[in-house]
């Protein structure tokens, strides 16, 4: 093994990144593109990638006000599952799951997709009835799922308190073996590198400040680096979607809330699956580094602060310790918040808008990370053909007029 003196260590630490190849270019914005994507999170980057790869549309800019994948994509707890109740949502999330299963190969980038299974716990008779109904619906849609009793849950997670002494004893769970977690940054970077290699311009530190709209049609965007023209604009800005819609002169049925997460100090491997409980309101998995990755429901108030309140942190940790008394002395290392945009039916919006040529992909609430590949794929098709992809069609904003809502509050992993 090579040994370094103290000086050598400092020298190597300082020079470490010198000759690394850049993963994508840093282009100067062109005056005009065929398609502009506003928002360089996972959904925006995936959309650009599929526009180029599937539809051959490469004159595309992704405009990001900060850095790529620095929004909710960087802030989420990376749970991927497809066990949604209604056919429309099941089709969307299972489409995504299938893309996840080949994503590292497709992007030639290891997104560390780990199908370690997800348990959604039931603590009451009504929970168990809902679980049974959802698993039945999943299986009818060809999605893997099982209903477990408390013993089945205990067999998978021996450290979970499944005793009758718990305040809300575990009665059972839904179990999706193909579900799991992935590496959030790698997903953004993998899509970014692949899109860039096909000619997509990734414009970081570029903020959209308004839209060029004439005669009811979009002609481009105003940015802090000048105006950029395009006849097709896709907005994929998660918690900022309402702000962008306001700039375009219409309202979306969205509320923006903080959603928090925490990670603990690293531990030896102790939890090899994902455990979620909507009832006691907490969920946890263990990252490959060893940290416990923990979260719960949204903070109840609306806002754009990427923080959140202490009350939620306290309740979340109470729930985790209640489920896992063994974690009671684990120290938390970090806490943060993202802004999630929630729809009244807890389903996303993938839709044309009152402005011709302008589309929105938003409203993923607490659960859009898992949807990144599927959402990007169907949104790209929608933009390329100016017509909703069949999987995207039920998620049009028209559903709030027609009443054809896709109510997925029950399947949303965390309350919103
Ligand atoms: P983002 O990654 O937020 O990207 C949007 C981008 O738009 C941002 O980078 C932002 O800077 C940019 N932007 C905004 N306004 C402008 C502008 N005017 N000009 C230019 N750029 C702009 N989902 C799951 O499926 N599983 C989970 O376990 C999970 N856990 C979560 C935990 C937390 C704490 C949070 C906050 C969210 C969680 N989610 C989870 C939800 C998930 O993170 C989001 O649904 C998903 O990341 C949204 O991706 P996006 O690409 O749409 O948004
Ligand atoms: O949608 O599965 C989910 C989820 C877990 C944590 C946040 N969202």
83 alpha carbon, closest ligand: 2
Of 242, 334, 366, best ligand 1 pocket probe by most atoms within 8 Å of the beta carbon? 366
Instruction: Assign 6 a pLDDT band (cuts: 50, 70, 90).
Output: low
- The pLDDT tens digits for 134-188 are 999 999 999 999 999 999 999 999 999 999 989 999 999 999 999 999 999 999 9
Closest atom of ligand 2 to CA, residue 81: 2
Distance 297 CA to ligand 2 centre (A): 9
Closest atom of ligand 1 to CA, residue 283: 28
- The pLDDT tens digits for 102-114 are 999 999 999 999 9
Q: Residue 312's closest CA among 259, 366, 365? A: 259
For residue 412, the model assigns a pLDDT of: 82
DSSP code for 331: P
- Is 231:240 a contact under the CB 8 Å cutoff? no
- Among positive and negative, which fits the CA dihedral 183, 189, 193, 194? positive
pTM score: 0.96
Distance 340 CA to ligand 1 centre (A): 7
Give the C-alpha distances (Å, rounded to integers) separating 343 from 77, 155, 240: 20, 37, 13
Q: Which residues line ligand 1 (CB under 6 A)?
A: 38-44, 63-66, 70-73, 75-79, 207-208, 236-238, 240, 244, 259-261, 295, 338, 340, 364, 366-370
- Is 145:175 a contact under the CB 8 Å cutoff? yes
Average pLDDT over residues 39-56: 98
- Is 333:291 a contact under the CB 8 Å cutoff? yes
Nearest CA to ligand 1 atom 4: 41
Distance 45 CA to ligand 1 centre (A): 12
Distance 411 CA to ligand 2 centre (A): 10
Rounded distance, CA 23 to CA 117, Å?
32
374 alpha carbon, closest ligand: 1
Give the C-alpha distances (Å, rounded to integers) separating 124 from 67, 105, 149, 279, 416: 44, 42, 12, 9, 20
Rounded distance, CA 289 to CA 275, Å?
18
Residue 2 has pLDDT above 50, yes or no: no
């Amino acid at each position: 093994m090579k040994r370094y003196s103290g000086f050598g260590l400092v020298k190597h630490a300082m020079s470490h990144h010198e000759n690394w190849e850049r993963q994508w270019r840093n282009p100067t914005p062109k005056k005009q593109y065929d398609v502009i994507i506003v928002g360089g999170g996972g959904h925006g980057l995936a959309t650009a990638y599929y526009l180029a790869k599937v539809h051959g549309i490469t004159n595309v800019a992704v405009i990001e006000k900060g850095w790529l994948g620095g929004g909710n994509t960087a802030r989420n707890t990376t749970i991927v599952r497809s066990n949604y109740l209604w056919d429309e949502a099941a089709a969307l999330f299972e489409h995504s799951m299938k893309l996840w299963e080949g994503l590292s190969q497709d992007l030639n980038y290891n997104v560390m997709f780990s199908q370690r299974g997800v348990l959604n716990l039931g603590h009451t008779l009504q929970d168990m009835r809902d679980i049974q109904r959802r698993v039945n619906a999943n299986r009818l849609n060809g999605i893997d799922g099982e209903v477990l009793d408390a013993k089945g849950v205990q067999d998978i997670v021996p450290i979970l308190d499944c005793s009758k002494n718990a305040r809300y004893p575990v009665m059972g769970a839904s179990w999706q073996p193909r579900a799991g977690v992935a590496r959030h940054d790698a997903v953004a970077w993998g899509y970014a590198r692949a899109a860039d290699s096909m000619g997509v311009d990734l414009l970081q530190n570029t903020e959209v400040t308004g839209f060029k709209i004439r005669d009811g049609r979009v002609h481009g965007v105003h940015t802090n680096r000048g105006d950029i023209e395009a006849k097709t604009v896709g907005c994929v800005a998660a918690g900022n979607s309402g702000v962008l819609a306001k700039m375009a002169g219409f309202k979306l049925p969205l509320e923006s809330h903080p959603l928090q997460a925490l990670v603990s100090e690293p531990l030896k491997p102790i939890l090899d699956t994902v455990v979620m409980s909507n009832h006691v309101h907490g969920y946890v998995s263990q990252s490959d580094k060893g940290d416990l990755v923990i979260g719960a429901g949204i903070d109840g108030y609306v806002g754009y602060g990427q923080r959140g309140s202490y009350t939620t942190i306290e309740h979340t940790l109470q729930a985790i310790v209640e489920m896992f008394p063994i974690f009671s002395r684990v120290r938390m290392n970090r806490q943060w918040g993202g802004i999630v945009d929630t729809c009244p039916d807890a389903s996303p919006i993938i839709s044309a808008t009152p402005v011709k040529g302008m589309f929105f992909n938003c409203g993923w609430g607490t659960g859009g990370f898992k949807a990144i590949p599927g959402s990007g794929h169907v949104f790209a098709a929608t933009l390329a053909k100016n017509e909703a992809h069949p999987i995207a069609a039920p998620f049009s904003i028209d559903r709030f007029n027609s009443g054809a809502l896709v109510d997925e509050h029950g399947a949303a992993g965390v309350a919103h």
